[in-house]
Amino acid sequence: MDEQTVSGVTVHILSLGGALCGLPGVPGDWPKGHVWVSYLDTIGATCKPCVEKWQAALASSDCSHREISIDRATGDETCADCGAVNGKLPAAEEKIK
């Protein structure tokens, strides 16, 4: 995992119970030195993969992507608000727009 630390602590972005970077488990299972911030307040995040995924999700559509879930098996990211998967709207939605 390519991550930045501040004072030995890595701050992940948490969405729907998991880190956006894919760090396994829930926060209580994480190694010492790994903490989280909410996807609603990402300012303090220092985990580079978490921040990159969050920025990519926000830039991918007009939706604010405030609730993104990650399928741990496939790595697919789905927005609960607009249904975008990996930053792309489902085919039927694309035709409507």
Per-residue pLDDT of 60-90, as tens digits, reads 656 666 788 888 888 888 877 766 777 665 5
Instruction: Please tell me the predicted confidence (pLDDT) of residue 96.
Output: 31
Let me know the angle formed at the C-alpha of 37 by 32 and 42, rounded to the nearest 5 degrees: 135
Find out whether 44 and 51 touch, Cβ atoms under 8 Å.
no
Lowest-confidence range among 1-5, 9-13, 44-48, 87-91? 1-5
Instruction: Please tell me the predicted confidence (pLDDT) of residue 88.
Output: 67
pLDDT at 55 over 60: yes
- Boundaries of every domain in the chain: 10-96
Strand partners, 69: 78
Tell me the C-alpha to C-alpha distance, in Å, between residue 24 and each of 10, 33, 84, 92. Answer: 14, 14, 23, 33
Q: State pTM to two decimals.
A: 0.58
Instruction: Please tell me the predicted confidence (pLDDT) of residue 94.
Output: 36
